Amino acid sequence: HLNPYPKGDVRHTATPDEEVADIKAATLEDVKKFYSDFYGASNSEIAVVGDFDAKEIERLAGELFSTWKSPRPFARVATAYADIAPVNKAIETPDKPNALFVAGIRLNLRDDDPDYPAMVLADYLMGGGFLNSRLASRIRQKDGLSYGVGSLLEVSAVDKNGQFIAGAIYAPENAARLEAAFKEEVARALKDGFTPEEVAAAKAGFLQGRQIARAQDAELARKLATYRFINRSFEWDADLEKKINALTPDQVVSAMRRHIDPSKITIIKAGDFAKKGRG
């Protein structure tokens, strides 16, 4: 729903039925043609992290990939922000023991926006990072409705387009209680904000997590390759972390109020709600 591109557009999000139909319809010749039409290394980015000989890596990369030319020129496909009308929908999945709750809203935001650092921390406080987050404290610990609950902030580095997503796995009979708890916690955060203690703990947890991630070779390689494409260095990370560490509770909730409108949040629930009149 939050990604309303039509079928046939490369940005289209297929339904499960569409995916099954597409896979069944695909032939070996289709796969071969797609490979011959699009696969190549002309626009590739390679990042190597670890104990290695740089000259040997360059030689090997050239040997393996220099002649593997892309058949067609590369063109990035942009994704534009759209103000999506919200829906609240239940999808029946008969005889499934667990239900899934997903709530989301599109954000007119890019990661160089002044509000981005505050929104990163707001997401972490709501459910993005730790068991003391608002959603986990309420839905998992206090109400005991879900062991798997959290939130996610996705914001592009190239397009002014993002989304805030929250989700939970729960028993279908608890659908109404879980949805009410989610709405109440979002409303409470927007109304009252976060305490200085919450914000300080979130900063510490978030920044420590990034330090740990940078100690992993795979994460460093992933970021280096991505940063080659978007012309960015780790100075950007240092600047982001400096901004996050300087945030005040007022700055966090103010950014959240600018970008999160509860009346525009889409809610999708999937589960066996029909049994015994659940949901």
pLDDT digits over 100-124, tens only?
A: 999 999 999 999 999 999 999 999 9
Q: What is the pTM of this model?
A: 0.90
Residue that the structure tokens 């080659």 belong to: 228
Answer whether residue 13 shows pLDDT above 60. yes
The per-residue pLDDT for 47 is: 94
Whether pLDDT at 130 is above 80 = no
pLDDT of residue 132: 84
pLDDT at residue 275 greater than cutoff 80: no
If you average pLDDT over residues 238-257, what whole number do you get? 98
- pLDDT of 4 reads 87
- Which pLDDT score is estimated for 276? 54
Residue with tokens 């007119």: 108
Share of the chain above pLDDT 90, in %: 90
> What is the Cβ-side half-sphere exposure of residue 150, based on CA atoms within 13 angstroms?
9
Give the whole-number percent of the chain exceeding pLDDT 70.
Answer: 99
CATH numbers and ranges of domains, the chain: 88-277 (3.30.830.10)
Q: Which residues contact 99 (CB under 8 A, 6 or more apart)?
A: 93, 169, 170, 171, 172, 174, 175, 269, 270, 271, 272, 273, 279
> In Å, what is the CA distance from 270 to each residue of 11, 47, 173, 274?
23, 40, 12, 11
* pLDDT of 279 higher than 80: no
Q: How confident is the model at residue 131 (pLDDT cuts 50, 70, 90)?
A: confident
pLDDT category at 277 given cuts 50, 70, 90 is: low
Check whether 95 has a pLDDT greater than 90: no
Give the Cα separation of 245 and 255 in Å (integer): 15
Task: Using DSSP bridges, classify how beta strands 266-271 and 148-155 pair: parallel, antiparallel or unpaired.
Answer: unpaired
pLDDT of residue 228: 92
- Report the chain's mean pLDDT, rounded to a whole number: 94
Confidence class of residue 29 from pLDDT cuts 50, 70 and 90?
very high
What confidence score (pLDDT) does residue 150 get?
Answer: 95
Report pLDDT digits (tens) over 40-64. 999 888 999 999 999 999 999 999 9
Structure confidence by residue, pLDDT tens digits, 135-192: 999 999 999 999 899 999 999 999 999 999 999 999 999 999 999 999 999 999 999 9
The SS3 of residue 101 is strand
pLDDT at 75 over 70: yes
